[in-house]
Amino acid sequence: EMKEEGVAEDRLQLLREVTGAFRPGVLTALMGVSGAGKTTLMDVLAGRKTGGYIEGDIRISGYPKKQETFARISGYCEQTDIHSPQVTIKESLIYSAFLRLPKEVNNEEKMIFVDQVMELVELDGLKNALVGLPGISGLSTEQRKRLTIAVELVANPSIIFMDEPTSGLDARAAAIVMRTVRNTVDTGRTVVCTIHQPSIDIFEAFDELLLLKRGGQVIYSGPLGRNSHKIVEYFEAVPGVTKIKEKYNPATWMLEASSVSTELRLGMDFAQHYKSSSLHQRNKALVKELSTPPAGAKDLYFTTQYSQSSWKQFTSCLWKQWWTYWRSPDYNLVRFFFTLVAALLLGTIFWKVGTKRESTADLSMIIGAMYAAVLYVGIDNCATVQPIVAIERTVFYRERAAGMYSALPYALAQVIVEIPYVFIQTTYYTAIVYAMVSFQWTAAKFFWFFFINFFSFLYFTYYGMMTVSITPNHQVAAIFATAFYSVFNLFSGFFIPRPRIPKWWVWYYWICPVAWTVYGLIVSQYGDIEDTIRAPGITPDPTVKGYIEDHFGYDPNFMGPVAGVLVGFTLFFAFMFAYCIRTLNFQVR
């Protein structure tokens, strides 16, 4: 398709011969028409590009750039302000500071620094406000933008990249954000912003400009000057370029003056014009000078990839996840309420059927009740956890790219935070169902009922988390998970007992988690019952224990392995979630 449009190369080149330097205490604007490669250049410089080929040389203080080190000293404010919705502004900053500041900085100093950053970005009056979801709840767009900047500032970076920090903001909000950016630069940091059609006030807040044309070529790199006079003088010196009108926005005029239509009208290439200018020669000399490390300087080196140990990463992630879950009543109360309704529904429908064991029909009804109950609640757990994990995964992509933590501590925290909620859910569900259905009141049988339900609910929850980790979004995850519900149902051993499953399909029975749940529920409650029951076509009447062995193919002495397999499935789904969240990246840049 690209070749039909006239592109001869096999690979589309987005940036061409971009040369420039960004310095401390200087606010630089990256500008150009749509498709010029502004965000691409910033992603390449920041090390955020996930695809394509990168050629060239990037140096930091004269030394070749190493991404692992660079991530520790740089910040990246994305255009989409991605934050965990259920934490406050102050908690977001504490979380970032405790993970990204060096371990040599004590907690008290970190808290002082957090307060200073909140004051710098003018968010101290909102420090206890929940972040919320964009456009739905919580902070306004402008407040979220300032939070994005603050989250990077608390890492105390030397270099900050900002992707269109004023996009989508009105004039007042944009002015507040730019004041925040200016305050940041005045602390001696290197700040680079992509900017799209800024107002006069915003444009003139910048010190220098790197201007790109479509095709990723530089057409200006240098100072703006007071009232943008240097950029105006540069383009007005080009023969045939229309002079700027009085009080006209220099940013708009500059883009118009260097447009493709102007190039065609003048019969020239602004990129070639820039290359032949004295400004380009000065920039090349500056780049050459800065490409050599100063005398006595040493390259940055960190003994570890991350600022904090794996344990500290885990505890920090768990702290944030705990608050996220605690402040998510729409998630936890929905599944708790559904579980309560399911328990009462089953209890009333199958009221005291646990004492009825006169025929195989009675036994099938009781087993069906146990099976249906676990399946309903398990599927609900799987479905409700998916949106939560999907939202947090977008935050995870940003935080991992910033070098805050590795994938394993994050995944472990996400897995562990579910356990107390599933434990509470299982406790009241087991108590209600066990009492209303009137199963045999012995400690061992009650414990087994609780144990099997707990790990069944847990593996369904982790299965839901795993489906999110292997798919691009929670809608696809829901479709993927649903596809297996019917298969779980079919091979559970309830509708088609194992002895009747064709031998070429019986292998799936053994790897079906629901089959082991049904196995455990039946054997734990009825595997030791010696009472006889009526069974059509069988004489004399078999015992309950004998019927379970013959009809379902269950071994009453197999509860130990069943328990081990249920724990194994739980750990397997949790491991797959952790592995896929670390390996698969659905964020394409």
Query: Residue 299: inside a domain, yes or no?
Result: no
Over residues 523-572, the pLDDT tens digits come to 887 777 777 777 776 777 777 777 777 777 777 778 888 899 999 999 99
Looking at the fold, whether 407 and 532 belong to one and the same domain comes out as yes
The residue among 238, 257, 290 that closes a domain is 290
Residue type present at position 293: P
Looking at the fold, whether 285 and 422 belong to one and the same domain comes out as no
Task: Please say whether the beta carbons of 177 and 191 come within 8 A.
Answer: no
Helix (H, G, I), strand (E, B) or coil at 106: coil
Residues 6+ apart with CB under 8 A from 434: 446, 449
Query: In what helix (H) or strand (E) does residue 152 lie, and over which residues does it extend?
Result: helix 141-153
Euclidean distance between CA atoms 348 and 363, whole angstroms: 17
Query: Residue 139: inside a domain, yes or no?
Result: no
Q: What angle do CA 149, 154, 156 make, to 5 degrees?
A: 105
Q: Which domain holds residue 233?
A: 27-49+58-80+159-290
Looking at the fold, whether 260 and 405 belong to one and the same domain comes out as no
Looking at the fold, whether 69 and 206 belong to one and the same domain comes out as yes
The residue among 290, 323, 356 that closes a domain is 290
Question: Which stretches of the chain score pLDDT less than 70?
Answer: 1-10, 537, 588-589
The residue among 256, 290, 324 that closes a domain is 290
Over residues 459-492, the pLDDT tens digits come to 999 999 999 999 988 889 988 888 888 887 777 7
Quote the pLDDT of residue 7.
58
The distance between the two most distant Cα atoms of the chain, rounded to a whole number of Å, is: 109
pTM of the model: 0.84
Question: What does R_g of the chain's alpha carbons equal in angstroms?
Answer: 32
Quote the pLDDT of residue 3.
56
SS (H, E, C) 299-359: CCCCCCCCCCCHHHHHHHHHHHHHHHHHCCHHHHHHHHHHHHHHHHHHHHHCCCHHHCCCE
Query: Residue 116: inside a domain, yes or no?
Result: no
Quote the pLDDT of residue 4.
60
Query: Residue 434: inside a domain, yes or no?
Result: yes
How many domains would you assign to the chain?
A: 2
Quote the pLDDT of residue 455.
94
Looking at the fold, whether 423 and 497 belong to one and the same domain comes out as yes
Quote the pLDDT of residue 2.
47
Task: Please say whether the beta carbons of 493 and 552 come within 8 A.
Answer: yes
Quote the pLDDT of residue 93.
94
Looking at the fold, whether 500 and 415 belong to one and the same domain comes out as yes
Quote the pLDDT of residue 192.
92
Quote the pLDDT of residue 6.
57
Quote the pLDDT of residue 126.
87
Looking at the fold, whether 387 and 473 belong to one and the same domain comes out as yes
Quote the pLDDT of residue 427.
94
What does residue 5 show for φ and ψ, rounded to 5 degrees?
-85, 0
